[in-house]
Amino acid sequence: MTTEPPVGIHDLTFSTTTLVLTHDELARHTGANPAKYRHGIGQTSISIPTPDEDIVTMAAGAGAPIIERHGKDRIRTLLFATETGIDQSKAAGIYVHQLLGLNRNVRVVELKQACYGATAALQLACALVRTDPTQQVLVLAGDIARYDLDSPGEATQGAAAAAILIAAHPNIAVINAPSGLYTRDVMDFWRPNYRTTPLVNGKKSVDTYLEALTATWHDHETRGGLPLEKLRAICYHQPFTRMAYKAHHHLLKTTGTTPTLHAIEGAVAATTTYNETIGNSYTASLYLALAALLDHDTTLGAETIGLFSYGSGSVAEFLTATIQPGYPTALRTQAHQHAIATRTRITYDTYRQLHTAQLPTDGQKHQIPHQTHGPYRLAGIDAHQRHYEASSPRSLASNSAPSPTPPPNRECHESGGHLLRRDP
């Protein structure tokens, strides 16, 4: 009898945007107390894309280091989870496939279910590898969380993409069975096709998140999952990082355990360090939490952790992963910290200009100024077709000549979006 090999996360990394808006800067113009952001929702800054950055450029930027390390010949499937897709028909992953130079004999699919989509992609990827342990699957999760100006959700915006390589005998974590599942039709957060920003019922969304956590935990438990005391830490989906603390408090009560600050912080604090400065990245959020935990703690080998994935509307899953003994050698801690530290700080006025700017929809040829510091960029649109290209670092102050990457948190007062249409 053949023993099925362990399957799970072989590599994990993420990318974010070139720009950052601090919550201190946001508070100065909204009149909010900065403590409301730092302590109330657990956020300190928001990643903001330049006009030539989108989910494709971020996902390709996250995927490139994985291809560089592991090669492309064993990748048979690319799954891209996103809720901010760029086309109603064509999968965004096909653009990434081209940018990364993947082989032609690869299936590419886009998945959507709010913030849960990446976990669906991860489970599908694991199932594919179990059918053929010689293949690998590249899972991408990328989103730009964008809410109406002056709305309650504005402080929880953000942008990032995670790249996850799924393989047999993984270097980082084995994905375990069973998992707990839950679906309920509820209108807590949704975005009709005719809107560029979502509609949100904040209280209902938090309540539904906690309801889904209870239900997935009970399903996981009923199917023979590990008890809570066997889990070293739990990564939660983080629309804002205080949600992770609220969720773990809820789970402790659900399991009959008295919640204490020590227990809650011990389980979730290390998972919040990337999301608190990047903001909400929807599908990527849970996996930024996992990256933060792994980068923070190199003593997790052979430990089992929990992961709770929630997507509004709603679908949720509670799963566990066993961290592999040699995982520190596979981490990309320095690259993650560099991506965050080298973002260029922008003013509130620049942020508002970027927020209202939109790509042209007239079908004419439009070039987009080079502003990203990332390795790929959206170069322009022609005949309603998006054109991407490899990029070299350029200064936001220049739309032509290359210049060195700016120092961390340098302020930028230019939007550089003069070729873009703005909402009235």
Q: Is 196 exposed, middle or buried (0-12, 13-18, 19+ CB in 10 A)?
A: exposed
Verify whether residue 115 is a known catalytic residue: yes
Verify whether residue 83 is a known catalytic residue: yes
Distance CA 66, CA 228 (A): 33
Catalytic residue among 53, 115, 154, 370: 115
Catalytic residue among 53, 83, 110, 317: 83
Which residue in the block uniquely carries the two structure tokens 């080298």?
342
Amino acid at 167: A
What are the distances in angstroms from CA 335 to CA 65, 143, 386, 404?
10, 20, 28, 18
The C-alpha angle with vertex 266 and arms to 144 and 311, in degrees rounded to 5, equals 30
The tokens for 131 are 């059918």
3-state helix, strand, coil in the chain (%, to 5): 35, 25, 40
Cβ pair 354, 368 in contact under 8 A: no
Cβ pair 388, 375 in contact under 8 A: no
Verify whether residue 235 is a known catalytic residue: no
Cβ pair 237, 312 in contact under 8 A: no
Which residue in the block uniquely carries the two structure tokens 């899953």?
317
Cβ pair 160, 16 in contact under 8 A: yes
The angle that helices 92-100 and 55-70 make with each other, rounded to 10 degrees, is 40
Catalytic residue among 237, 249, 355, 370: 237
Q: Please report the DSSP string for 365-416 in residue order.
A: -EE------SSEEEEEEETTEEEEEE-----TT-SSS--PPPPTT-EE----
Cβ pair 315, 189 in contact under 8 A: no
Main-chain dihedrals φ then ψ at residue 34, nearest 5 degrees: -55, -30
List active site positions: 83, 115, 237
